[in-house]
Amino acid sequence: MQYDKQGMIAAFIAYVLWGLFPLYWKALTYVDSAEILASRVIWSFILTLIFVVILRKGHQLIRDVKELWQHQKTFWTLAVAAYLVTLNWFLYIWAVNHNHILETSLGYYLNPIVSILLGIIFLKERLAKAQLVGVIIAVIGVAIMIINYGTIPYVSFGLALSFGFYGLLKKRIQLDATRGLVIETAFVLPIALLYYAYLAIEGKMSFGMIDLNTTVLLIGGGAVTAIPLILFAVGAQKIPLYLVGFIQYVAPTMTLLLGVFVYGESFGSVEMLSFGFIWLALIIFSVSTIVEVRKHH
């Protein structure tokens, strides 16, 4: 039971940190989103690698890379997953710094629904009746927003789909979360370094050029990426998956509250109605998942 408590605390802190992300990226609004992303990739790689070395897991990391290389399909699947999660990071940073925080919140509320649909399409998983009802209700919620705005919430769909496909690909790869993050960021690292070289040549680089605060925040981007992922890995190993599913709604809820109350984004009756449908869908999903889990125990 003690392990469950530790796992719940670790997972909860991870999602709280993810929920607070807008505060961090908003502090860097004057830096181009692409540079923030490149910096995030570079420093995530460096800091996570240091963490792996401190844990004396360096030899296991080398073994992981060798095993991946021996299984080319798995190796390139992880490479695709790495670029999908990088796209997800870019969309999130761009959206936060261009006043689309509510759309990011919607995207992460939609994520579990997208994941279930991808499971049905690609893994031939079956949809329970309650889950089907949940999907229909969520679709109505999104449709209300599309009809009202007259535009598709591309950021929301982009975040939900990129992370959904990332999860789908990662499901096929058995890899330790921390060492996995080192390898994933290593796939994107050359592009990030080339982009920084381009910024340096063009004289457009913010890192080390504006002030100490900016440089520290850009380096810190690696830490705020790695720490919640490591905490999440600890939590996910120690508590049931359905419990992780419940806790994951902490992050988009916090993001929603920050968007409305801190950054003054519009949240009127239409948004309330749209989000209301999606919240109802998520309640149906969560309750049906718990019923299914109880049934098999």
Res 245 pLDDT > 60: yes
**pLDDT (0 to 100) of residue 293:** 66
Summarize pLDDT for 128-169 with one digit per residue, the tens.
Answer: 788 788 888 888 988 888 888 788 889 999 999 998 898 888
Question: pLDDT band for position 1 (50/70/90)?
Answer: very low
Summarize pLDDT for 231-243 with one digit per residue, the tens.
Answer: 887 777 677 666 6
Res 171 pLDDT > 90: no
Domain segments of the chain: what residues?
2-127+150-252
Instruction: Provide the whole-model pTM.
Output: 0.86
Query: Each residue of 191-202: b (16+ CB within 10 Å) or e?
Result: ebeebbeebeee
Question: pLDDT band for position 94 (50/70/90)?
Answer: very high
Range 200-221 average pLDDT: 90
